[in-house]
Amino acid sequence: MKRFFLIVLIAAIASTSWACASKDQKNTETAASHTSKKTTTTKPKVTPSKTTFANDTVKDIEAASADIESALQLADSNQLSAAITSLQQTTKTHPKAFIAHYDLGLLYERKPDMAMARSAYESALGAEPNFYPALLALVRIDIRNGDTGKAIQTANQWIARHEDIFNYNYAKIEALIADTQYESAISQCRALLKTDEANARLRYYLASAEFEKKRYRLADFIVGESLEIAPNDAEALFLRARIYDALSTEEVSLIPKIASTLDDVIALNPNFIEALWMRANIYYNASNYAKAEELYRHILQLDPNHVGAHINLANTLKTVDKGPEAEKLLIRAKELAPQNALVDFAFGTLYLNFEIIQLPMKDMDRLKLAKQHFETAESLWTSSEDKALAKGYIRTTSDAIETLQAMLDAEALFGSSSDESDSSSDDNTESSSGSLRVD
């Protein structure tokens, strides 16, 4: 969680009004659809307004601020368990300190323990119903789990409880977009904009829905309007980076604009996982492996179960001959996603390049493992293009096995370099003459 989030909140409470910033992470995975049966005919007209807090809430927030800051520092120092324990005590001592409940939820997500994170976010809403980022966090847990139907249901339940809280609509719209109900999301955004024409967040969601419908130019125009109103909205800036990415071609590359926009996002929110992911990939593709490694490691600090970061960090470490650590990362990725073909493909390339990447095993054993993993990747992939890629590597590996075996047979037959072969096995190669470079 960004440190300034707490500071801004305390300052705002001092004047008894508050406008909330957005949550650290955004997720737009989709799953089965869900149609809401809630009607709006009897729903009272609501308008966005500044929030005033009860005196006990203000007192708890002010009293808890130092403890919250201390807990966040522990989390930043990789002392996650201690940070969680600290915030648990803070929420017991200051139950109305809703930001403490919310931060506790963020730390549980980092653990990850989604059940406890959900409980913490619900406690934040119980302490202060107007704190809508907690509802967004609840909805995003459902979306991340692939249950967009539950996400819509969660939003509807809280809207039904507090129909006067305008900002709860954001959670509903976000769930609709994740559920691919783009037209419904667009209609709801337009209806709500009639109530609040200068609402930057509604424009952001409207642009998001248009983006998902692949109307990129329109999405860019709308998100531009949003950023004119709220130039420091990290999520809107990230959407602009995604739009640039969609519009970028080999003829007209927008990679510099994408990179600079992502840098702006990360400056505003250093823990924005999706922005970190995109930026790390750009660094990797530009062969800036040091920066790529830095960002992939940061992602894994925030989300230890991020499969893609495990794979890409392993691929990055291959380039600097950190084979053993790369192998450990891929083993963990395989545990997290046993049916992910990219994990097996990454294993294959790790084992194949035995002259470049050192591992404590013989070259022939590595080549055989490489072939097995390429075959597994080929069986898991469904697209013809991916299958063709895997088959090409299978052929390359088979040729390498055949060539290396011929070299070893020749050495055995003529007895050449036997002493050298024995000594070189300790250095992870069969022999100097039996070493085969595979590009």
pLDDT, tens only, 3-20 = 333 433 433 333 322 333
For 294-322, what is the mean pLDDT?
A: 95
- The overall average pLDDT reported for the chain is 85
Q: Collapsing DSSP states into helix, strand and coil, what is residue 417?
A: coil
Task: Compare 431 and 213 and report the one with higher pLDDT.
Answer: 213
Q: What is the pLDDT of residue 58?
A: 84
Neighbour-count burial for 100-122, b at 16+ CB within 10 Å, e otherwise: bbbbbbbbbbbebeeebbbebbb
pLDDT, tens only, 146-173 = 999 999 999 999 999 999 999 999 999 9
For 52-60, what is the mean pLDDT?
A: 78
For 255-281, what is the mean pLDDT?
A: 97
Q: Do domains 1-163 and 181-271 have the same CATH topology?
A: yes
Q: What is the pLDDT of residue 51?
A: 59
Domain ranges of the chain: 1-163, 181-271
| Distance from C-alpha of 292 to C-alpha of 315, rounded to nearest angstrom | 10
Q: Which class for 414: exposed (0-12), middle (13-18), buried (19 or more C-beta within 10 A)? A: exposed
The DSSP element (H or E) to which 241 belongs, if any, is helix 234-247
Class of domain 181-271: mainly alpha
CB atoms within 10 A of CB 435: 14
Instruction: Give yes or no for residue 275 having a pLDDT over 80.
Output: yes
For 76-102, what is the mean pLDDT?
A: 94
| Distance from C-alpha of 206 to C-alpha of 187, rounded to nearest angstrom | 9
Give me the numbers of helices (H) and strands (E) for the chain, helices first please: 21, 0
For 307-313, what is the mean pLDDT?
A: 98
Contacts of 288 (CB under 8 A, 6+ apart): none
Q: How confident is the model at residue 118 (pLDDT cuts 50, 70, 90)?
A: very high
Q: What is the pLDDT of residue 358?
A: 86
pLDDT, tens only, 165-219 = 999 999 999 999 999 999 999 999 999 999 999 999 999 999 999 999 999 999 9
Q: What is the pLDDT of residue 293?
A: 98
Q: How confident is the model at residue 39 (pLDDT cuts 50, 70, 90)?
A: very low
Q: Which CATH architecture has domain 1-163?
A: Alpha Horseshoe (1.25)
Instruction: Give yes or no for residue 408 having a pLDDT over 70.
Output: yes
Instruction: Give yes or no for residue 68 having a pLDDT over 80.
Output: yes
pLDDT, tens only, 381-401 = 999 999 999 999 999 999 999
| Distance from C-alpha of 109 to C-alpha of 121, rounded to nearest angstrom | 11
Residue 375, token pair as written in the block: 């075959």
- State yes or no: cis peptide before 112, omega within 30 of 0: yes
